[in-house]
Structure 1
Amino acid sequence: MQTETIEPQNWDLTVPWDKRDEAGKELLVSREWLLTNGTGGYASGSLSGVVTRRYHGFLVAALPAPLGRMVMLTQVSEEVRLAGGKVVRLAGQEYPGDPLKLDWVGTLAEFRLESGLPVWVYQVGDFVLEKKILLPHRQNTVHLTYRILEGTGSVRLRLRPFMNFRPHEEPLDRPMNRPYRVVASGDQVEIESQSESDGAEACPALRMFPAMGSGALVLDGGSFRDIFYRVEFSRGYEARGTVWTPGYFRFTLEEGQTAGLVASTEAWDTILALHPEHAFEAELERRRRLLEAATPEARQGPAAQLVLAADQFVIAPTTRIADIARAQAAGDEFRTVIAGYHWFTDWGRDTMISLEGLTLVTGRVEEAGYILRTFAQYIRDGLIPNMFPEGERDGLYHTADATLWYFHALHRYIQYSNDRRTLKILLPKLVDIFEHHLRGTRFGIRVDPADGLLTQGAEGYQLTWMDAKVGDWVVTPRRGKAVEINALWYNALRLLEQWVQDEKGDSEAQPIREQAERVRSSFNQRFWYDAGQHLYDVVDGEQGDDASLRPNQLLAFSLDHPVLEQQYWKPVFDAVRNKLLTPVGLRSLSPDAPDYRSHYDGDLRARDAAYHQGTVWTWLLGPFVDAWLRLYPHDDATAYRFLEGLIPHLKDAGVGSVSEVFDAEEPFTPRGCIAQAWSVAELLRCLIKTGYR
């Protein structure tokens, strides 16, 4: 059977803005672009060129533990000198105590994504200049290219790199106490951070060279600048940081000519192996193959952009070297999922919820198997890790649901792949998970022998997906028997029952079957809240039964094995739809609740107080659509209408991707991470499920 070929540039993702007023210019500061390199490294910034976050940089390299992700190249300032001597800036910086002047953005004529890659077009006098940025796949390298598309005569381009080698999460006010040394050999330059006396891990050198055009480095003695990071200020963090520059690269360009700058932490042999033009061609071909591998419905329009966005989260990490070695020794590959950019690492729950949308719908079935087998390496005491801290080799296990989502993800993988070999390999671990939950494991996660329901909770820990914590304050502890935990537990039991029966026979499956039947009976007796015509969020909690109206109850009948009796499906769905549905996702708490928060902003404490107390989450549209189609299996059209409000968002916030959260009231401002794995994954999965064309 022939595979349909779809050209990548099949949906217009040109960002609109009003060039006539200041509000339009401000949009260029608030909207951001993101590129990733397939190892966890990335490049990101505002469309305007202003650095607004500590995470912004043209090269944030993913380095082996304990370094983690490091900001190696913060910014490159760009100036064009015309023949008459006029100097025009293409980007600028915001300085402490100095109002931001956006005079240069008037030269920006267009910003667009081409096959997911950012492209800027500037009108500078009579010249039209195009800028592109690329991170070659699985390299800590960035390519910047500048091409004169139109214009008579020549211009001079000056590119000045700014840097402060630091972990991408490090506070901006930490002093820059590492002197830099510049080593130049011909047109190749190395910037080294001299070793510190405290024995800290040495940071690799930043290597740069002018890859195209008649470029030359001009060293002007080095200088420091303090810049203001406005988004950090709005989030309650230190917002003043220092960057350093050794000098600038100078190019002369005429129509049709291209200048290029390459910066990297790789060895010179690796850097020089790929000419910038070939690097762009290779990346475009890689992206074409991603689209060709995806299900046909995902090869066009917004779905195609989501396939490219999904690629940003699936990584072959370079940080945990020992784990990579173990996987490769077994003939496997090490894969994981970054939960969100910029600050998340790989999280177990997010990975398992996202697996179908990121890898199965997109045709990356083999990589889905890698991910599942990777996480199986980390099972401890019947749990998969909650998350891996930045730069650390070991995971943290404080989660009651990630392990149960693992069963769901494995089931979907087997449906797509029919990989019974992986199932046989994992089955002993799955049975061990079942047994650990029966007798009890860490953090109070255990089956209550009185009713068979799964309870969880430990002082100071947040174990469900509603996991906000500030200092010692757990905002939504939800200790007890949480509704979605028991829906997932029942689903896992039914899946395990079938797998054990297939592989070992009915007698081995019988104890699991009996446990599942007991859970279903107890669930329907305990969780129905008749006064509200919906489900309790938690029963047998610290304050008794919690009748808060939250979206978690959808999992009681959206999963493959519904624990909830059918008579309750419609009232539960109607309650959620009436109070929680928005055009961009579901509210995490009903507006009628006294703890409801309509906006997610301010400092960390204010944000986390709202994180799961009203704030809208896009990923919840996945269970919502699944629940709708369980009630109305032939009404795909309505299911699609629940999703279409997010299509314009692809040109907002993190352009080409989907944000983590939104405010709970109009205008539903995007917040949190600019690109979130489960937001992208569930939107893409549901678009395909609803028959989107």
Structure 2
Amino acid sequence: MSYLRFDKTLMTNLEESLQREILRTNKAGAYHCTTIVDCNTRKYHGLLVIPVPNLDDENHVLLSSLDETVIQHGAEFNLGLHKYQGNNFSPNGHKYIREFDCEHIPATTYRVGGVVLRKEKIFVHHENRILIRYTLLDAHSATTLRFRPFLAFRSVREYTHENPQASREYQLVENGIKTCMYPGYPELYMQLNKKCEFHFTPDWYRGIEYPKEQERGYDFNEDLYVPGYFEVDIKKGESIVFSAGTSEVTPRRLKQTFEAEVADRTPRDSFYHCLKNSAHQFHNQQEDEHYILAGYPWFKCRARDMFIALPGLTLALDEIDQFEDVMKTAEKAIRNFINEEPVGYKIYEMEHPDVLLWAVWAMQQYAKETSREQCRQKYGELLKDIMEFIRQRRHENLFLHDNGLLFANGTDRAITWMNSTVNGHPVIPRTGYIVEFNALWYNALRFIADLVREGGDVYLADELDAQAEVTGKSFVEVFRNEYGYLLDYVDGNMMDWSVRPNMIFTVAFDYSPLDRAQKKQVLDIVTKELLTPKGIRSLSPKSGGYNPNYVGPQIQRDYAYHQGTAWPWLMGFYLEAYLRIYKMSGLSFVERQLISYDDEMTSHCVGSIPELFDGNPPFKGRGAVSFAMNVAEILRVLKLLSKYY
């Protein structure tokens, strides 16, 4: 029995199948994303979605979809599916689906009368190319396949509509055509591995709708251009490969390329392998630069997300070399930032006050997975330079006060991971002494002190330890309240008493200013008020402003974003904290908490974990369909568990 298989009953029920999405990437920024019935429901969906750097820093949908038609005895059976106005779906090709299997690569089996056709899709790594293999498993008479490509040539943030500027020009290439709708875009090459006929019948398909965009309060319809169609005969047992990419291929090599790409994939035959496969999809390698994307389908590389996700996406998979490769790019960006040089790297939000502290935390995880000696040799100078940058108060929004705590101004713009804004102002203006900033700071001081002491720099180690003593004492005085939990932020006389998850880091980190009893009090209140099966709530239901449902138009969602929604990545730190307190006796509890993520593998984005969940039952998944920090932290917990056995 396949781990990721969906039967005819689910596939033909659009209420179920349209809620499940698939994602394939090329590890270089391009992707294919749609629903499991190949009906696009978002403007971000498409068969071939790629970066076009000479236009902008967004992804662009070149090939939106490909409708297949099976032809026998003059009868035509269209396997495509699009949504049009008035909840009309056409041509309803999903009714022919017998099963969908996603264990190795997305594979859909159709049955049309006596014809059984399997369609398999794969995105070529490090190349802007998707390959689709069609295998005729059974047929009792001559069969022809027709392929009708739907072209968009637009940014994922926009829509296209019928217009006279769109070029209808095309040129024949071997076993296919190349075309480009607008200047500035690359040519799109569509080719088959077998001789075929292309029929030029240009037309616009008008009024295609994307219900997920409608749900989110955005415009939701567009027109797509179809230049014509390809026709090719296929025999029983034969496979035909369709290629769509930004460069020409040699058709006779397509089958071989397809097989080689399949062999290179991690089979998604278990929870762990699904997460491993998902982890690899966040990598974005551009020549000598290596980034981690924050999520799909709309996130770019964000500095904080990258450093939080990096250990789980690499070290937890024993991919030390991948960690080091990403850190090569990250170190250059960090040095550019602390030297006040232009950041020539596509890492966004580097200026946020806690980013450097999360970078220290990431390198700390590297030290634990390799050795302190190796970490010191590789990153010792960088760690010292980061520490000096902060201690010398050179950061424009991170001020080291005499009490040893770090102060940051977040009244006018969002500076923490709780970053939602409405009308340019933060929904949650976390400002002043922010609890996780100072937990990170204390942890960084102690970690780097120990690291440099072992390397012989006793003077610096003593300095950092002395600073940590001051910081730790102030931390307890400023943040800990009489109820035993930690204030979320303190700015002068203003204290945020809301029960939020940011205090859990103080329990999870290797170095903490809290004693064991104090840690347990924090853990207990997080367990009691914030724990859900899908993540840790961003706000307690008992706190004012609790808003657990991330639904509706943009403003409504922005107000709810961190006001009660549950975040899986926080579960990683919560479970790490739990193991710190309960050790071996906490293992069964931690394992039980992970079960609900196993369930997620066949929901939302198949084989991955979405950005966030509603904070109340039924804890519905929301936001980006695949989120790096979530996948990373669950992988890191699995790695932590493995060390107990």
TM-score where L is the length of structure 2: 0.93
Gaps of 5+ in 2: none
Q: Is the 8 A contact 1:596 1:613 kept in 2?
A: yes
Distance 1:274 1:608 in 2: 51
- What residue is the counterpart of 1:203 in the other structure? 185
- What residue is the counterpart of 2:208 in the other structure? 227
Are residues 1:80 and 2:70 paired?
A: yes
Among 584, 589, 598, the alignment partner of 2:539 is 589
Are residues 1:404 and 2:381 paired?
A: no
Larger CA deviation: 154-163 vs 52-61: 154-163
Cα distance, 1:102–1:156 mapped onto 2, change above 3 Å: closer
Cα distance, 1:347–1:546 mapped onto 2, change above 3 Å: same
Cα distance, 1:452–1:19 mapped onto 2, change above 3 Å: closer
- What residue is the counterpart of 2:60 in the other structure? 70
Distance 2:522 2:418 in 1: 20
Distance 2:413 2:372 in 1: 36
Are residues 1:247 and 2:225 paired?
A: no
Q: Is the 8 A contact 2:80 2:92 kept in 1?
A: no
Distance 2:245 2:85 in 1: 30
- What residue is the counterpart of 2:152 in the other structure? 164
Distance 1:275 1:680 in 2: 35
Q: Is the 8 A contact 1:164 1:176 kept in 2?
A: no
Q: Secondary structure at the match of 2:152?
A: coil
Among 484, 487, 502, the alignment partner of 1:536 is 487
Distance 2:415 2:618 in 1: 31
Distance 1:673 1:544 in 2: 34
Cα distance, 1:166–1:369 mapped onto 2, change above 3 Å: same
- What residue is the counterpart of 1:119 in the other structure? 107
Cα distance, 1:546–1:102 mapped onto 2, change above 3 Å: farther
- What residue is the counterpart of 2:297 in the other structure? 342
- What residue is the counterpart of 1:330 in the other structure? none
Cα distance, 1:601–1:174 mapped onto 2, change above 3 Å: farther
Are residues 1:645 and 2:626 paired?
A: no
Among 558, 565, 581, the alignment partner of 2:508 is 558
Structure 1 residues 453-492: Cα deviation after superposition (integer angstroms, max 9, x where no partner): 1111145321111111233121112011111111111111
Cα distance, 1:570–1:168 mapped onto 2, change above 3 Å: same
Distance 1:518 1:33 in 2: 50
Are residues 1:354 and 2:309 paired?
A: yes
Q: Is the 8 A contact 1:534 1:571 kept in 2?
A: yes
- What residue is the counterpart of 2:250 in the other structure? 272
Distance 1:33 1:67 in 2: 26
Cα distance, 1:174–1:253 mapped onto 2, change above 3 Å: closer
Q: Is the 8 A contact 2:100 2:108 kept in 1?
A: yes
- What residue is the counterpart of 1:379 in the other structure? 334
User: What is the identity, as a one-letter code, of the residue corresponding to 1:674?
Assistant: V
Q: Is the 8 A contact 2:2 2:103 kept in 1?
A: no
TM-score where L is the length of structure 1: 0.87
- Map 1:415-564; keep pairs closer than 5 Å: 415-418=368-371, 420=373, 423-424=376-377, 426-449=379-402, 451-531=403-483, 533-540=484-491, 544-564=494-514
Q: Secondary structure at the match of 1:642?
A: helix
Among 2, 6, 19, the alignment partner of 1:15 is 6
User: What is the identity, as a one-letter code, of the residue corresponding to 2:191?
Assistant: F
The offset of 1:38, in angstroms, is 1.0
Q: Secondary structure at the match of 1:70?
A: strand
The offset of 1:171, in angstroms, is 4.9
The offset of 1:419, in angstroms, is 8.1
Q: Secondary structure at the match of 1:461?
A: coil
Q: Secondary structure at the match of 1:361?
A: helix
Larger CA deviation: 147-156 vs 631-640: 147-156
The offset of 1:165, in angstroms, is 1.0
User: What is the identity, as a one-letter code, of the residue corresponding to 1:149?
Assistant: L
- What residue is the counterpart of 1:331 in the other structure? none
Cα distance, 1:445–1:177 mapped onto 2, change above 3 Å: farther
User: What is the identity, as a one-letter code, of the residue corresponding to 2:4?
Assistant: L
Distance 2:331 2:636 in 1: 24
- What residue is the counterpart of 1:608 in the other structure? 558
Distance 2:351 2:380 in 1: 23
- What residue is the counterpart of 1:104 in the other structure? 93
Distance 1:566 1:463 in 2: 30
Cα-Cα RMSD: 2.6
The offset of 1:340, in angstroms, is 0.3
Among 675, 679, 683, the alignment partner of 2:634 is 683
Structure 1 residues 55-98: Cα deviation after superposition (integer angstroms, max 9, x where no partner): 11110123435534221111111222233x33222222112345
User: What is the identity, as a one-letter code, of the residue corresponding to 2:254?
Assistant: P
The offset of 1:442, in angstroms, is 4.3
Q: Secondary structure at the match of 2:513?
A: coil
Distance 1:354 1:119 in 2: 30
- What residue is the counterpart of 1:329 in the other structure? none
Are residues 1:25 and 2:14 paired?
A: yes
Cα distance, 1:345–1:497 mapped onto 2, change above 3 Å: same
Cα distance, 1:411–1:552 mapped onto 2, change above 3 Å: same
Cα distance, 1:275–1:505 mapped onto 2, change above 3 Å: same
Distance 1:103 1:77 in 2: 11
The offset of 1:439, in angstroms, is 3.6
Q: Is the 8 A contact 2:202 2:225 kept in 1?
A: no
Q: Secondary structure at the match of 1:226?
A: strand
The offset of 1:504, in angstroms, is 4.5
State the identity as a percent: 30
Cα distance, 1:55–1:384 mapped onto 2, change above 3 Å: farther
Q: Secondary structure at the match of 2:369?
A: helix
Q: Is the 8 A contact 1:382 1:432 kept in 2?
A: no
Equivalent residues, number: 641
Among 601, 608, 616, the alignment partner of 1:665 is 616
Cα distance, 1:171–1:516 mapped onto 2, change above 3 Å: farther
Q: Is the 8 A contact 1:616 1:662 kept in 2?
A: yes
Among 401, 410, 414, the alignment partner of 2:367 is 414
Q: Secondary structure at the match of 1:520?
A: helix
The offset of 1:435, in angstroms, is 2.6
- What residue is the counterpart of 1:284 in the other structure? 262
Q: Is the 8 A contact 2:301 2:348 kept in 1?
A: no
Larger CA deviation: 178-187 vs 638-647: 178-187
Q: Secondary structure at the match of 1:133?
A: strand
The offset of 1:393, in angstroms, is 5.1
Distance 2:337 2:447 in 1: 16
Distance 1:603 1:92 in 2: 26
Cα distance, 1:552–1:102 mapped onto 2, change above 3 Å: farther
Among 579, 587, 591, the alignment partner of 1:636 is 587
- Map 1:363-378; keep pairs closer than 5 Å: 363-378=318-333
Structure 1 residues 29-71: Cα deviation after superposition (integer angstroms, max 9, x where no partner): 1211110001011001111221111111110123435534221
Q: Is the 8 A contact 1:14 1:110 kept in 2?
A: yes
User: What is the identity, as a one-letter code, of the residue corresponding to 1:56?
Assistant: H
Cα distance, 1:369–1:192 mapped onto 2, change above 3 Å: same
The offset of 1:384, in angstroms, is 11
Structure 1 residues 587-635: Cα deviation after superposition (integer angstroms, max 9, x where no partner): 1100112211120011111111111100110111101110110111103
- What residue is the counterpart of 1:303 in the other structure? 272
Are residues 1:217 and 2:198 paired?
A: yes
Are residues 1:129 and 2:117 paired?
A: yes
